[in-house]
Amino acid sequence: MRSRSRVALLALLTAGTACVRAQEPSSAGRARAATLLVQRASRLEQALQQPVADSAADLPLARWLLPLKLAEVSGLALDRADRLFAHDDENGHVFEIDYRRGLLVKEFLVGPRGLLADFEGLTIVGDVFYMFTSDGRIFTFREGGAGARVSYAVHDTRLGRECEFEGITYDATIRSLVMACKHVGIKNLHNHLVIYRWKLERGQGDRLSRIAIPEAQVIGANDWKKFEPSDITVDPATGNYVIIASQQKGLVELTPAGAVVRSEPLPEGPLMAEGVAITRDRLLIISAEATAGSASLSLYRRR
């Protein structure tokens, strides 16, 4: 009996060793991964250069499945060099993702032990990150290295009562943070798409301004009952605001003045689109939370 248990213990140890060894990438594995990444990048470049019919424009060029830690991926943001950053919903983890090659580059944490808040959006101005919560608080910090924990400052816009926010972006032309409102708390604006703008620099006049567009204009010919934004971004080519809504699976483009440019269904893809970003080379990136499978990052041509 005792020898049997010793054999079982030995077998367990061997299995454990095998498991651990399986976790450690070999040099051959690293070489394979490097080749794969090169192939992915060139495949995307080729796809972008090929002319595509309108019917195929909605098909994703690439889709990367995100790890479990990003199951509740919330906002997306591009920096000056078009590096993509994403964050999770409630813990203050920020990830850099190489969207062209499908590589999770690094992760850093806001605060020494992270933050517990309902994070809904991220934008980057210069080298300062602005992470926004649904109750209107803005956490500012700088980029951290891999595995770093960065310090932060917090500013409360005190707009939490007026609005439940779901997305933030930066409009460089007016040097303002632009924040989309999902649920409006102001009675006479209930049937409006409300967007707040907050100037980063103090100057003459109010730092805070608001645009409200009647929902009927936003919905247009679509069969949505209302439009509840999930994220907002600025199209670098036109300067227009592009807003997505996961509930309605819709995409709306507005001019900074509030005129609706287009209103259409989101490209074909996973449910629960929670983040949007547009690159300078016309890639529309949409992140989706995990529902049945895993969270994902989908790349489309920007029409």
Partner 1 sequence: MASLKGLIDVLTLGSERPLRRLLAYYALLALLLYGILQAFPVVENLLLGSGLSDLVTSPTVLQDGLAGQQPGAAPDVAVPQLGLALVTLLTMLGALALMLPVSWVYMSARKARGHDQTVAQTLIILPVVVAGVVLVVQNSLALAFSLAGIVAAVRFRTTLRDTRDVVFVFVAIAVGFAAGVQALTVAFIVSAVFNFVLLFAWHYDFGRNALEPTATAQWTEPLAELAHQGEDAVPDRDLALALTPEKAARLAERFERVSNMLGAKKKKPKYNAILTITAEDTGKAQQSVEPVLDESAKRWKLDAVEKNDGKPSSLYYLVRLRKTSSEADLLTAVRTSAGENIADAVVEMGGASEKANAKASKGE
Task: By CB under 8 A, tell whether 293 contacts partner 1.
Answer: yes
With CB under 8 A, what is the number of residues at the site for partner 1?
A: 51
Listed ranges 14-22, 182-190, 237-245, 279-287: which one lies at the site for partner 1 (CB under 8 A): 14-22
Measured over all CA atoms, what is the biggest interatomic distance in the chain, rounded to whole angstroms? 86
- Cβ proximity of 75 and 274 under 8 Å: yes
Site for partner 1 in 159-198 (CB under 8 A): none
Phi and psi at 236, nearest 5°, equal -65, -20
Alpha-carbon gap, residue 221 to 219, rounded angstroms: 6
Alpha-carbon gap, residue 248 to 207, rounded angstroms: 32
Q: Would you say 96 or 171 has its CB closer to partner 1?
A: 96
Listed ranges 61-69, 180-188, 216-224, 276-284: which one lies at the site for partner 1 (CB under 8 A): 61-69
Give the burial string for 251-277 (b: 16+ CB within 10 Å, else e). bbbbebeeebeebeebbebbebbbbbb
Site for partner 1 in 76-95 (CB under 8 A): 90-91, 93, 95
Helix (H) or strand (E) holding 6: helix 2-23
Task: By CB under 8 A, tell whether 106 contacts partner 1.
Answer: yes
Site for partner 1 in 234-263 (CB under 8 A): none
Q: Which residues bind partner 1 (CB under 8 A)?
A: 16-17, 19-20, 22-24, 33, 36-37, 40, 60, 62-67, 69, 90-91, 93, 95, 97-98, 102-109, 113-114, 116, 146-149, 268-271, 291-294, 296-298
